[in-house]
Amino acid sequence: MVKSKIKVEDILQHAENRRIYSATNIEQLMECIKSLGLMQRIILNKKKEVLCGYRRLLAIKQLGWEEVDVEIVDIPIEEEPAYMVSSNSHRTKTSLEKYHEIKILKSYWGKKQGQRTDLEDCLSEEEKLTTRKRIANEIGVTESEVRKTEYVGDKAFNLLPLIGTGEDKISLNEAYKACAPQKPQNYKAVEEVDLLEIKLCHFCGNETKRINTNENGELKYENHGK
């Protein structure tokens, strides 16, 4: 990592940064920088593309800065998206931004060495669970939020920008329920149960000859075989 001061006009936006994150609340950030200065350096790759701090870059541009202190890191290109997500873990993000982060980290951590990385079927259930937990820890949410956010994004991507707080927004749970499959109603009343399917008594383990209900509607077993 190299610390340097470069011209603001020479700094570029990284393509993945543009895809993952939105530039919001710039005015508020400008006020903070005017009062306190730039608290954290902007992080760039060797091509002077922003890995962390693009909102800060936009803010100082509007403030008329000509030069800025930066840190330049030398990491493999394929690791830059994951580095970007890790470096932005402190910021408040929308569900859409979280979805993009989840997909990037899942691709980075959830791949098996020597196998195709675009197939989720390559992962065992244990590997999926471990990856989900790592993602949750990295982006600062629960495993449940990771699961629901990814599901909504995969099934109904257009719902992600609608998730948030406010009268014109919906909650993540509401979005998840809207696109989750309905559970089949396969429940049967006691009278509909095929007694031939009942093999053993739950209480004594003997073969059940007859099942019945008492006056309270509770199951009872009678006439057990010896």
Task: State pLDDT tens for residues 74-113.
Answer: 999 999 999 999 888 777 889 999 999 999 999 888 664 3
Residue at 105 is within a domain: no
What does 152-171 look like in DSSP terms, one character per residue? HHHH-GGGGGGBSSSTT-B-
Residue 218 belongs to what domain range?
Answer: 190-222
Report the CATH number at residue 45.
3.90.1530.10
Helix (H, G, I), strand (E, B) or coil at 38: coil
The last residue of one of the domains, among 75, 105, 128, is: 75
pTM score of the predicted model: 0.65
DSSP H/E element including 4: strand 2-7
Any domain includes 122: no
Q: Is residue 213 part of a domain?
A: yes
Under 8 Å between Cβ of 163 and 94: yes
Over residues 154-191, the pLDDT tens digits come to: 999 999 999 988 888 899 999 999 887 776 655 555 44
SS3 of the chain: helix, strand, coil, percent, to 5: 45, 15, 40
Q: Please say whether the beta carbons of 51 and 73 come within 8 A.
A: yes
- Tell me the per-residue pLDDT of 45-54, one tens digit each, with 9 for 90 and over: 999 999 999 9
Final residue of a structural domain among 38, 53, 75: 75
How many structural domains does the chain have?
2
* Host H or E run for residue 220: strand 219-222
Asked if 172 and 159 touch (Cβ cutoff 8 Å), the reply is no
Percent of residues, the chain, with pLDDT higher than 90: 44
Separation of first and last alpha carbons in the chain: 79
User: Does 168 reside within a domain?
Assistant: no
* Domain assignment of residue 70, yes or no: yes
Confidence of residue 24 (pLDDT cuts 50, 70, 90): confident
Q: What is the mean pLDDT of the chain?
A: 79
Domain assignment present for 182 = no
**4 lies in a domain?**
yes
Q: Which two tokens stand for residue 30?
A: 């400008």
Which of 51, 75, 99 delimits the end of a domain? 75
86, part of any domain: no
Q: How far apart are CA 104 and CA 102, in angstroms?
A: 6
Cβ within 8 Å of residue 134, ≥6 positions away: 105, 109
